[in-house]
């Protein structure tokens, strides 16, 4: 039934594997979950999972939401030191390197720090499709007390270059849950003529500064799992730790915008219990723990 309701992807880091690795949980009807199961970003959750046979991307798993438990949170103290330690093994040298992995073995999630973030802009978003309108309407019928999710009329886009000699630059959209939510919040707080400036201040001025080691979580879509064009990848989120937080030799993280990413650590991938935090995860044998984030 989730196919016909409002759902989101949750990406993160599996903590029950050595080394940790990326994971994608789908479908997750996050806003329709019971209150005690509605995890936040960088929450640690446990959930039973199995292979997602309709999604062949190697990181994708289908969760049994009846088993979902929120068990912990990875804090942001000391410049995100704990979050950085969890994510460090997953940092790739560039988006160009991630796309080469994608072509070689189907890798569909990645984390990297750009060499230079050139610009940020807001563009007009594509209107909802008839299928998306149908999902909203069906959710309203089955959950009449549930407030419909407002369509966000903007796309949040960044231009940047990689630490790669062959990089010709990238132009990608941000699909972090927080980006969309910031528009929904600000439109009730600021007059319409100020919205664009306020969003730019939130996602450019405050995110890209000398004291922040801004990293990008990226992923592709199931319909084009091996496409290596820039259009095939999008931001799951930004992550923003401070530069002093310990990734000095490589980089740190930045804070996430329009989606959430989960990290899960697990020894059993085909059918396991996953303990995870939105954005990161950890697990015992037969169980996985992860940190999650979600995106639209």
- Per-residue pLDDT for the chain (296 aa), expressed as one digit of tens each? 445 467 778 888 988 788 899 999 888 888 878 888 888 888 888 999 999 888 889 999 999 999 999 989 898 888 888 988 999 999 999 999 999 999 999 999 999 999 999 999 999 988 766 666 555 555 444 455 666 778 899 999 999 999 999 999 999 988 888 889 999 999 999 999 999 999 999 999 999 988 888 899 998 876 655 544 444 445 556 666 665 443 332 322 333 333 333 333 332 222 334 444 444 333 332 345 566 555 44
Residue 146: per-residue pLDDT: 60
Query: Domain range holding 106?
Result: 2-144+152-295
Q: Cβ distance 4 to 272 under 8 Å?
A: no
Residue 115: per-residue pLDDT: 95
Residue 173 structure tokens: 């959209």
| Cα dist from 250 to 28, 75, 114, 158, whole Å | 33, 21, 11, 22
In angstroms, rounded to a whole number, what is the distance separating the alpha carbons of residues 293 and 111? Answer: 13
Strand order in the sheet with 233-239: 91-92, 109-112, 215-220, 233-239, 170-174, 154-161, 116-124
| Cα dist from 103 to 91, 224, 245, whole Å | 18, 12, 33
Residue 167: per-residue pLDDT: 95
The domain tally of the chain equals 1
Residue 282: per-residue pLDDT: 34
Residue 118 structure tokens: 């050139």
| Cα dist from 107 to 22, 53, 64, whole Å | 10, 16, 24
Say which DSSP state 280 is in.
E
Whether the bond between 145 and the residue before it is cis, its omega within 30 degrees of 0, is no
| Cα dist from 71 to 39, 46, 108, 290, whole Å | 9, 7, 27, 10
């Amino acid at each position: 039934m989730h196919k016909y309701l409002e759902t989101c992807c949750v990406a993160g880091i599996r903590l029950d594997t050595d080394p940790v690795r990326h994971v994608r949980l789908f479908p997750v009807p996050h806003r329709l979950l019971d209150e005690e199961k509605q995890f936040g970003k960088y929450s640690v959750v446990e959930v039973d999972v199995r292979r997602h046979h309709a999604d062949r991307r190697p990181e994708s798993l289908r969760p049994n939401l009846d088993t979902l438990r929120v068990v912990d949170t990875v804090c942001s103290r000391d410049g995100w030191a704990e979050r950085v330690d969890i994510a460090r093994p997953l940092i790739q040298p560039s988006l160009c390197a991630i796309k080469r992995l994608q072509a070689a073995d189907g890798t569909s999630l990645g984390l990297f720090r750009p060499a230079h973030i050139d610009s940020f802009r807001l563009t007009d978003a594509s209107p909802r499709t008839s299928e998306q309108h149908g999902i909203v309407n069906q959710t309203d019928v089955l959950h009449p007390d549930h407030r419909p999710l407002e369509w966000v009329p903007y796309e949040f886009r960044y231009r940047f270059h990689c630490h790669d000699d062959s990089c010709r630059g990238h132009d990608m959209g941000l699909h972090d849950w927080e980006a969309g939510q910031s528009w929904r919040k600000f439109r009730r707080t600021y007059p319409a003529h100020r919205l664009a400036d306020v969003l730019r201040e939130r996602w450019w001025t405050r995110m890209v500064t000398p004291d922040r080691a801004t990293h990008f979580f990226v992923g592709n879509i199931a319909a084009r799992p091996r496409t290596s064009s820039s259009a095939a990848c999008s931001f799951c989120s930004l992550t923003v730790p401070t530069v002093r937080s310990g990734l000095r030799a490589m980089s740190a993280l930045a804070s996430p915008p329009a989606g959430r990413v989960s990290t899960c650590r697990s020894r059993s991938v085909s059918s396991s219990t996953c303990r995870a935090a939105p954005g990161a995860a950890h697990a015992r044998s037969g169980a996985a723990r992860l940190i999650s984030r979600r995106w639209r």
